[in-house]
């Protein structure tokens, strides 16, 4: 991923007309997208929503695990007094519970991952719009993601500005 972004950056630099580099007309900004996702109000809300989903799924998983442990304990206690058929039926029921538990765990993990991606993609889409607006309004030639840059001068880091603008954009009532 980083190699692709670096190659894209080099293509942009070498494909940009030399006249842009001739004067002081170049304005470069760098933003830490990860930091914006974590520190913006929308990012904090998304994290909270995701944590709530994880917590609810985990409590259901814990309940199912307790039910399995109880069924195992009951089977061990009753094993000596159960007929072979009854014991086999209880073992099959326990195996079914374990399969359902594993399936539920996998489904829950997939649901959490899907929700995480939806939240990240929504925030990223909104950030691209904010960055585009900042770029146009403030005359930036290029705004780079901090993850694609090896070194930056803190003077061109616009992350705080982006967080402020993003939070402001989310606080405004939506127009219909």
Query: What's residue 7's pLDDT?
Result: 64
Q: Which residues of the chain carry a pLDDT beneath 70?
A: 1-24, 172-176
Would residue 10 count as lying in a domain?
A: no
Residue 6 placed within a domain: no
Residue 176 is predicted with a pLDDT of 52
The pLDDT value recorded for residue 25 is 81
Q: DSSP E strands: which ranges in 58-172?
A: 142-145
In a domain, 121, yes or no: yes
Which secondary-structure segment (H or E) carries 20?
helix 18-22
CA neighbor of 37 nearest in space, from 28, 29, 46: 46
84 located within any domain: yes
- For 14, 25, 53, the CA distances from 17, given in Å and listed in that order, are 8, 12, 50
Residue-number span of the structural domain to which 123 is assigned: 18-171
Q: How many domains does the chain have?
A: 1
Is the distance from CB of 105 to CB of 68 less than 8 angstroms?
Answer: no
Contact assessment for residue 62 and residue 68, using Cβ atoms and an 8 Å cutoff: no
Q: pTM surpassing 0.85?
A: no
């Amino acid at each position: 991923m980083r190699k692709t972004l670096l190659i894209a950056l080099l293509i942009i630099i070498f494909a940009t007309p030399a006249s842009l580099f001739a004067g002081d007309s170049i304005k470069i900004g760098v933003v830490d997208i990860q930091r914006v996702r974590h520190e913006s109000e929308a990012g904090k809300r998304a994290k909270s929503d995701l944590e709530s989903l994880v917590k609810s799924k985990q409590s259901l998983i814990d309940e199912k695990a307790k039910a399995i442990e109880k069924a195992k304990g009951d089977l061990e206690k009753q094993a000596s007094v159960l007929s072979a058929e009854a014991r086999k039926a209880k073992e099959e029921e326990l195996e079914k519970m374990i399969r359902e538990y594993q399936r539920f765990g996998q489904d829950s993990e997939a649901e959490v991952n899907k929700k995480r991606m939806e939240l990240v993609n929504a925030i990223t889409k909104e950030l691209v719009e904010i960055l585009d607006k900042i770029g146009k309004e403030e005359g930036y030639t290029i705004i780079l993601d901090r993850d694609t840059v090896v070194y930056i001068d803190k003077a061109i880091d616009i992350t705080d500005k982006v967080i402020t603008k993003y939070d402001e954009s989310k606080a405004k009532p939506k127009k219909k």
